[in-house]
Amino acid sequence: MRTSNGVAGHLAGDDSKPFSGRNHNPQTTAWIVLSTAFAVFWVLIIGAFLGGKLYYETASFARHATLSIESGIVLFRDAVTSTVVNASDNMELREGDVVMVGQGASASLTMFGGTKILLYSGSEIALKEIEQSRFHDGFTHIAIQVNKGTARFLVGSPPTESNRFVVVTPHGSALLAPGDYGVETSDDQTRISAREGSASVSGKGGSTELAGGEKAILTAEGVSGPMPEGDPLVKNGDLAQGFSQWTPIDRDEPGRPVEPGQRTLIPESVGGRETVALRVQRLSPLGTHNETGLAQPINKDVSDYQSLRLRANVKVTGQNLSGGGYMGYEYPIMIRVIYRDNTGGQIDWTHGFFASNPDGQPTPNGEQVPRGEWINYDGDLMQVNPKPVYVISVEILGAGHTFDGSVANVSLVGK
């Protein structure tokens, strides 16, 4: 009979344990834990240092602008409540606030660093950003949004190393260096001009650089410029398109027989250049008063312009009244600009041209010129008292009894 001596593969009396494959060394484990903790400690220290440094370099605080109301009604929309109320003089404005200048009104904003913004009739701007570095003189960030109307930016030089002054409009934006800039925004376009300084202008599909004396036009189609600063207000002033943009003037003396004048377009050589001229003629056997010529509506706020230069070529061929007539307002050739001054009153400014004055009649707004010769007229309406703030229309005409004269190349340019 057979008997079993135990389980196969295990010797009786063998006390050895199965091999686990790992040796646990307490000292090694401790060093690993300490090294990891030390590394994490330095990561936290370095992270805190870099985070603090970044905060020190980039932290900013919001500044404010002070509103001054020059005239009229100015409205204010608060950034928090969106409530529109009447603004008050010397009130403080902050980021997100909106200023709306009423028709015929004007205002200005004064900011830190010597910056000032002039706001004209019908304009609306929003203060998008007014920030300066908190702990050092590192940077200044200002962003102003011009929603509509005309504003003048007199950008100062804040005492910081990095300055960013941005104007945003519906058609694009401009980064402005310290200087003097005009921004005019309408539904169709934005005009950005630089009297002094330099600007980087960006719009749809393009950008351009402006220097002093230059402007750019931004539209939905793109950016045009740079081009010389100045806004031509008279259209078709060279009459190359005939009477387009102009309407006829025929004013007769009330209660007297009508003796109409004539207006014709004729080719002329002026200063060696071929051009088209308006000739106005009238024969008055009865000696009645008449005005014959052309008028063009302008309807333009000119408050922002430093100069408003009126130019034309003029020739007086004949007249039967001496000087400007016995009342001093009947000249064979006249240029008339109708405008409003800062009180809202209408001014009919006139400059007349005559060839002779044998009777010594008054010529308060007249200029004597050689008969039958072309002369160049060049005047600045911003030197007139009172000066215009809104131009209504421009007229070129002959006035009096019997007269004969011509006008060519009429322009009115605001800068």
- Encode pLDDT of 144-155 as tens digits: 999 999 999 999
Alpha carbons 112 and 142: distance in angstroms, whole number: 10
Distances in Å between the alpha carbon of 230 and those of 173, 202, 213, 342? Answer: 20, 20, 8, 22
Alpha carbons 400 and 363: distance in angstroms, whole number: 13
| Poorest-pLDDT segment among 60-74, 266-280, 321-335, 359-373 | 60-74
Would you state the pLDDT for residue 253? 92
The proportion of the chain whose per-residue pLDDT surpasses 70, expressed as a percent, equals: 86
Strands (E), 5-57: none
For residue range 362-392, list pLDDT tens digits in order: 999 999 999 999 999 999 999 999 999 999 9
- Domain definitions of the chain by residue range: 61-228, 247-414
- Which two three-digit tokens encode residue 327? 């009342």
Q: What is the mean pLDDT of residues 32-37?
A: 77
pLDDT exceeds 70 at position 326: yes
Q: What is the mean pLDDT of residues 70-89?
A: 91
pLDDT exceeds 70 at position 49: no
Q: What is the DSSP string of 318-375?
A: EESSSTTTTTT---SEEEEEEEE-TTS-EEEEEEEEES--TT----TTEEE--TT--E
pLDDT exceeds 50 at position 46: yes
Handedness of CA 261, 266, 268, 274 (dihedral sign): positive
> Which top CATH class is 247-414?
mainly beta
> Which top CATH class is 61-228?
mainly beta
Which residues contact residue 33 at a Cβ distance below 8 angstroms, ignoring those fewer than 6 apart? none
For residue range 241-295, list pLDDT tens digits in order: 999 999 999 999 999 999 999 999 999 999 999 999 999 999 999 999 999 999 9
The yes-or-no answer to whether 61-228 and 247-414 have a common fold is yes
The answer to whether residues 364 and 348 touch, using CB atoms and an 8 Å cutoff, is no
Q: What is the DSSP string of 235-273?
A: SSTT-TTTTTT-EEEEEE-TTS-----EEEEEEEEETTE
Please, which residues bridge with residue 413 across strands?
A: 232, 309
Alpha carbons 34 and 212: distance in angstroms, whole number: 66
Alpha carbons 176 and 134: distance in angstroms, whole number: 23
Please, which residues bridge with residue 108 across strands?
A: 68, 118
Residue type, 111: M
| Poorest-pLDDT segment among 109-118, 189-198, 224-233 | 109-118
For residue range 234-251, list pLDDT tens digits in order: 999 999 999 999 999 999
- Which two three-digit tokens encode residue 214? 């230059």
Which residues contact residue 68 at a Cβ distance below 8 angstroms, ignoring those fewer than 6 apart? 89, 90, 107, 108, 109, 110
pLDDT exceeds 80 at position 50: no
Alpha carbons 330 and 287: distance in angstroms, whole number: 12
